[in-house]
Amino acid sequence: MAERLAGKPVVEKIAEELGSRIGSLAERGVECGLALLRIGERPDDLSYERTAVKRAESLGIKLRRTVLEDGASQDEIEAAIDGINRDASAHGCLMFRPLPGDIDEQAVCDTLKTEKDIDGISSAALAAVFMDRDFGFAPCTAAACMRMLDFYGIPLEGAHVVVVGRSLVIGKPIAMMLLRRNATVTLCHSRTKDLASTMRAADIVVCATGRARMFGPDCFSPGQTVLDVGINFDDDGNLCGDVDFDAVEPIVGAITPVPGGVGSVTTSVLMAHAVEAAERSVGV
């Protein structure tokens, strides 16, 4: 049976680190604030939001929630971001993505003030990830995967990592972050030929497609480490990952569960980024 790479100890470690930093900010009269911007009622957004609310409450981070109707226009969404830009009590902003409808998403992302961009959505923040430059913040989900790998001591140097999924939220940025750590990265997607055999050849597989239980035992081999980034709801409304966990767990070396895996750490990384943005705002 695979080792289960649980999010909980990583979440607890981050909470411990943040506790004292939030305390120091409070001594300077700064209450760390985080703005959430959600458009519509997508179940995976709501799942993220539920955990974020829980984490913020337990850490003492102030949340400001803005919810727009599905069908909100480009102008309405940009106006909401403008409101967050001008709210001095919000040190960082998370906008749930992808945006519904035919919105120019990158234009929306680029209206957020750089210093509040704690999910690395602006062109400049993403460019920095691709250029190995330390500027701004990396996308929280990609950063959460890296934290998981480091916490559990999974070696990256020279390792062959297959990433399945090429989104700007996770697939593309994590490929660059892994490269920076000297992994050999293969970036796969829905049109990849011989996907299963490519996945089987990897040391580490990162699944980020958003398709419920899409990857079964034929895609994996003994000893592999599997990060399941998917947050999906099956036909019965149950939360599940991109990997068919029950069928794959007996085969591989280590695997993250859903729930209780990468997603749970993502929300903690979001809090860590908000605290860092608050610190930067007062020059710490």
Ligand X SMILES: Nc1nc(=O)c2c([nH]1)NC[C@@H]1CN(c3ccc(C(=O)N[C@@H](CCC(=O)O)C(=O)O)cc3)C=[N+]21
Q: Given the rule CB under 6 A, which residues bind ligand X?
A: 44-45, 47-48, 50-51, 96-97, 119, 140-141, 169, 231, 239, 258-260, 263-264, 266-267
The first and second tokens of residue 274, run together, are 């908000």
**13/70 Cα distance (integer angstroms):** 36
User: Residue 62 Cβ, how far from ligand X at the closest point, in Å?
Assistant: 19
User: Residue 40 Cβ, how far from ligand X at the closest point, in Å?
Assistant: 11
Residue whose pair of structure tokens reads 């593309």 in the numeric block = 172
User: Residue 257 Cβ, how far from ligand X at the closest point, in Å?
Assistant: 8
- 19 annotated as a binding-site residue: no
Q: Which is nearer to ligand X, 157 or 246 (CB)?
A: 246
User: Residue 170 Cβ, how far from ligand X at the closest point, in Å?
Assistant: 7
User: Residue 153 Cβ, how far from ligand X at the closest point, in Å?
Assistant: 22
In 35-134, alpha helices (H)? 43-59, 74-86, 105-109, 123-130
User: Residue 283 Cβ, how far from ligand X at the closest point, in Å?
Assistant: 28
Write down how long the chain is: 284
- 231 annotated as a binding-site residue: yes
**8/128 Cα distance (integer angstroms):** 30
Alpha-carbon Rg for the chain, nearest whole angstrom, is 19
Q: CA dist 254 to 121, 155, 193, Å? A: 30, 13, 26
Q: Which is nearer to ligand X, 96 or 220 (CB)?
A: 96
Nearest partner of 268 among 58, 99, 89, judged by Cα: 58
User: Residue 107 Cβ, how far from ligand X at the closest point, in Å?
Assistant: 16
- 153 annotated as a binding-site residue: no
In the chain, alpha helices (H)? 8-27, 43-59, 74-86, 105-109, 123-130, 140-151, 171-180, 195-200, 245-248, 262-281
Q: Are 254 and 225 in contact (CB under 8 A)?
A: yes
The first and second tokens of residue 104, run together, are 């120019």
- 89 annotated as a binding-site residue: no
Residue whose pair of structure tokens reads 């790479």 in the numeric block = 5
Nearest partner of 247 among 271, 231, 226, judged by Cα: 226
Q: Are 189 and 165 in contact (CB under 8 A)?
A: yes
Q: Which is nearer to ligand X, 159 or 270 (CB)?
A: 270
Q: Which is nearer to ligand X, 225 or 232 (CB)?
A: 232
**116/125 Cα distance (integer angstroms):** 11
Is the omega angle on the peptide bond into residue 139 within 30 degrees of 0, that is, cis?
Answer: no
| Residue ranges at the known binding site | 165-167, 231
Indicate the annotated binding residues for NADP(+). 165-167, 231
